[in-house]
């Protein structure tokens, strides 16, 4: 009986693992500036990428490196950006609605007039980020994030210090 259970466990691990692995072809699409809705971009290296008007909604960008990217008019609604590096990135008019942005590093990130409605910013480091003209940002979202004296926020909003 134990042998059968172990055999099933090994078979299950091989059938489940590929579903969680990143997709190099999906990453290549994004690097070429193409939409990739719902793609698995886990731990993707996208530093210095420039893309405009692409759809990455529902994509898995967990632990990805988007440092110094320019993603204007990009749809990231419902995307999983948890633990992603957004250092110095530019997201003007991007849609982050309902995105998982837990523990992102958004130090020095420019969010322009992006939509942050319903985005989970728990543990996000917004030090030096510019959120002055974002849409849909609430004080409860900011209360779960942190920033510093250089974080630029909409009038009347505050963020805890990191």
Q: Is the dihedral of CA 105, 97, 102, 150 positive or negative?
A: positive
- Topology of the domain covering 53-153: Pectate Lyase C-like (2.160.20)
pLDDT in tens, the chain (162 residues): 333 333 333 333 333 334 456 889 999 999 999 999 999 999 999 999 999 999 999 999 999 999 999 999 999 999 999 999 999 999 999 999 999 999 999 999 999 999 999 999 999 999 999 999 999 999 999 999 999 999 999 999 999 999
d(CA 63, CA 25): 18
Predicted TM-score (pTM) of the model is 0.85
How big is the chain, counted in residues?
162
User: What per-residue confidence (pLDDT) applies to 12?
Assistant: 36
d(CA 32, CA 126): 28
Q: Which two tokens stand for residue 39?
A: 């793609």
The full set of domain ranges for the chain reads 53-153
């Amino acid at each position: 009986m134990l042998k059968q259970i172990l055999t099933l466990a090994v078979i299950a691990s091989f059938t489940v693992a590929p579903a969680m692995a990143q997709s190099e072809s999906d990453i290549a699409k994004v690097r070429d500036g193409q939409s990739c809705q719902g793609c698995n971009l886990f731990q993707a290296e996208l530093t210095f990428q420039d893309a405009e008007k692409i759809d990455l909604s529902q994509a898995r960008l967990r632990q990805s490196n988007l440092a110094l990217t320019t993603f204007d008019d990009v749809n990231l609604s419902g995307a999983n950006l948890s633990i992603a590096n957004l250092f110095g990135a530019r997201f003007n008019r991007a849609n982050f609605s309902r995105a998982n942005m837990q523990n992102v590093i958004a130090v020095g990130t420019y969010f322009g007039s992006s939509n942050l409605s319903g985005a989970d910013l728990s543990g996000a480091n917004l030090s030096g980020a510019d959120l002055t003209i974002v849409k849909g940002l609430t004080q409860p979202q900011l209360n779960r994030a942190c920033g510093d004296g250089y974080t630029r926020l909409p009038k009347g909003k505050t963020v805890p210090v990191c």
